[in-house]
Amino acid sequence: MNEITYKPIGVIHSPFKEPKGTPIQPAGAKGMDGKVEVFAEYVEGLRDIDGFSHIILIYHCHLSKGASLTAKPFMDSEARGVFAMRAPSRPNAIGISVVRLVSVVKNTLHIQDVDIVDGTPLLDIKPYVPRFDVREVERIGWLEENIHKVVTSRDDGRFIE
């Protein structure tokens, strides 16, 4: 299979200047303000986005160290398979976050609940639609015993270069 290349459509800005200390999920970043700067050539694509209260940001984890197929996740002490966790050190360092869209001013999206490091390259934006995106689940694997830690867990720097 051929290599796939993506071009950033913008940059995410947040109060987090480095991975260490950053919330590990939007649930732990409640009320944290951020901005998404969309590059000029993509501004037309923002039409009608202001009708959504939440959006999905898809981004490149540019500070992540090389890929690993196993790692110790933030909320557990046991090494897990990378596809059974959301750690940034993965074969394709792609991250996703569902954030609250507060307002749109020209090419800037004002957001809340941001768990992303300042300067992160934005790959795509999609509207969050509960009817499309929410599923009833029967199990959440190893997280079952650790999910309560999400609100207080912070990045400790283990996945950066």
User: Can you give the pLDDT at residue 48?
Assistant: 98
Give pLDDT tens digits for 9-30.
999 999 999 988 888 788 878 9
User: Can you give the pLDDT at residue 55?
Assistant: 98
Give pLDDT tens digits for 86-133.
888 889 999 999 999 999 999 999 999 999 999 999 999 999 999 998
User: Can you give the pLDDT at residue 161?
Assistant: 56
pLDDT of 72 > 60? The answer is yes
CA atoms of 101 and 35, how far apart (whole Å): 10
User: Can you give the pLDDT at residue 126?
Assistant: 98
| 10-149: CATH topology | Elongation Factor Tu (Ef-tu); domain 3 (2.40.30)
List of E strands, 39-119: 54-60, 70-71, 80-81, 94-105, 108-112
Give pLDDT tens digits for 31-63.
999 999 999 999 999 999 999 999 999 999 999
Report angle CA 91, 93, 95 to the nearest 5 degrees.
Answer: 135
E strand or H helix at 130, and its extent? helix 130-133
CA atoms of 72 and 82, how far apart (whole Å): 9
